Structure 1
Amino acid sequence: MPIGVIVNSLAVLLGGFLGAWLGKKIPERIRTSLPLTFGAASMAMGVAYIVKMNALPPVILALILGTAIGELIKLEKGIEWCGNRARGPIERLFSNNPNVENQKEFMEKLVGIVVLFCASGTGVFGALKEGMSGDHSVLLAKAILDFFTAGIFATALGYIVMTICVPQFIVLMALFLSASLILPISTPTMVADFTACGGMIMLATGLRISGIKSFPIASMLPALVLVMPISYLWSTYVMAVVK
């Protein structure tokens, strides 16, 4: 039973709804400062994951190739398109006008939190761990953070934040179901490099959420698919030749 996956998605749904419903009732200083705190938290979590890296070259190669693939297939543009398509009907349904008037700022924040909720290292490993062992403690802890994160961002972006629970549920459930296939064929080296790759993306996500630098977060996501095979090839063949 994917208890952690369900609770995590419900936390985003409820947090997004409450944040959008309360809206401007939450003081401006809180709505302004907390996203910066969430950005800093994302960067800190990213650094914590990066230090677990086994080898830098395969992680960098995966990031470069993954970002190139993401840009070629216009992955970020696809997320922006979906966000724009969903924004209008949701605003009409709830009669809610987000506090973010600038379209570019709206999409910057939306893409950032989509990645934060759906592709964070904590969520990925939490779903895999629950799928293999039934331990949902990681996802339950993540649900607490996601509840408040969704609530604060919803005060600015509106009810569209609560809809992120749908892709989040799909991603986490897919990982939960595939855990029995992925983890048995992975090695500690592959997992370490995968963790570091996710950490780099989380670091970039934090910089984006904080408004420091607009990294192409969504376009970087294919790196998570590539990093484990590249890590395996690197440790098996390249390092064997070097030694």
Structure 2
Amino acid sequence: MPAVFVNCVAVIVGSIIGLTFAKKISGKMTTVIQDAAGIITVILGLQMAFQFKNVIYLSLSLFLGGILGTVIDLDNKIENLGDNIEKLFFKKKVEQSADGTAVKSSFGYAFLNASCLFCVGAMTILGSFDAGIRNDYTVIFTKSVLDGFMAITFAASMGIGTIFSALAILVYQGALTILSTFLQPYVTEQMLAEITGCGGAMIVMIGINLLGLKKIKTANYLPSILIVVLFVLCEPGFMYIKDFITNLF
């Protein structure tokens, strides 16, 4: 758990630096920072996405996970959770557009996207397992440095909601660390590759959102991670069915 706290602190410190920096620059420069953050996020996502081993698993998990997430409206639920955290810690002000209509706060949006970015990926799983089983914090410390720098750009471009993504890291990464002994036997090299590929695709979605190219409800695709895990776990069964059908003909 100490390594998880270090990761949380790195995100908090990075977010504070980003927020401080954002207050001292013009709106035009803020746009530049947001575009840079979008490009960096897309590159990071593509680098992860191309680590997949089975494109069928990747494709089906994204399709099925996106459909499931849309049915349960996962994206809005997580964004609303962020807004509720804002109400808990801050006296929320209702912003209005030029025509007098209410404008939804960006707090939940920042919380959602930053949480997805920091919690999706092989380093989260590997680092948690190394910390929980071998007391080796190398991977988590490396991830903490990367997350800290990304928190700077995210906070500068999206706002204070980024800092509260540390709560998501604490819960998710902390749970993986505590359960690492039980989960470790099921996590193979292929599973890590498929999870990384699927998570990378979602990080690309975040980058597309930051660049303003299209509004993708990224969190609706989170069930894809669970689905790709199920595909990998069921692969021996798939191979048995394939061999059985081949032998029939």
- The unaligned stretches of length 5 or more in structure 1 are none
Quick one: structure 1 residues 35 and 140, their matched pair in 2 at CA, closer, same or farther if it must change by over 3 Å?
farther
Q: What aligned pairs does 1:1-243 form with structure 2 within 5 A after superposition?
A: 2-26=1-25, 28=27, 30-92=29-91, 103=104, 107-233=108-234, 235-240=235-240, 241=242
Alpha carbons 1:75, 1:219 under 8 Å: kept: yes
1:124-182 per-residue CA deviation (whole Å, 9 max, x = no partner) reads 33323333333322222222232233234334544333222112211110111222222
Aligned-partner Cα distance in 1 for 2:113–2:201: 14
Aligned-partner Cα distance in 2 for 1:58–1:86: 35
1:187-242 per-residue CA deviation (whole Å, 9 max, x = no partner) reads 33333222221222222222222222222211111111221221232x31334415
Aligned-partner Cα distance in 1 for 2:23–2:14: 15
Alpha carbons 1:127, 1:175 under 8 Å: kept: yes
Q: TM-score, normalised by structure 2?
A: 0.79
1:27 shift after superposition: 5.4
Alpha carbons 1:90, 1:159 under 8 Å: kept: no
How many equivalent pairs are there? 236
Which deviates further from its counterpart, 212-221 or 101-110? Answer: 101-110
For residue 213 of structure 1, what is the amino acid of its counterpart?
Answer: K
Could you tell me the percent identity over the aligned residues? Answer: 24
Secondary structure of the 2:91 match is: helix
Alpha carbons 2:107, 2:159 under 8 Å: kept: no
Alpha carbons 2:7, 2:143 under 8 Å: kept: yes
Q: Which has the larger radius of gyration?
A: 2
Alpha carbons 1:20, 1:157 under 8 Å: kept: no
Q: TM-score, normalised by structure 1?
A: 0.81
- The unaligned stretches of length 5 or more in structure 2 are 96-101
Aligned-partner Cα distance in 1 for 2:208–2:201: 11
Alpha carbons 1:128, 1:176 under 8 Å: kept: yes
Aligned-partner Cα distance in 1 for 2:157–2:90: 13
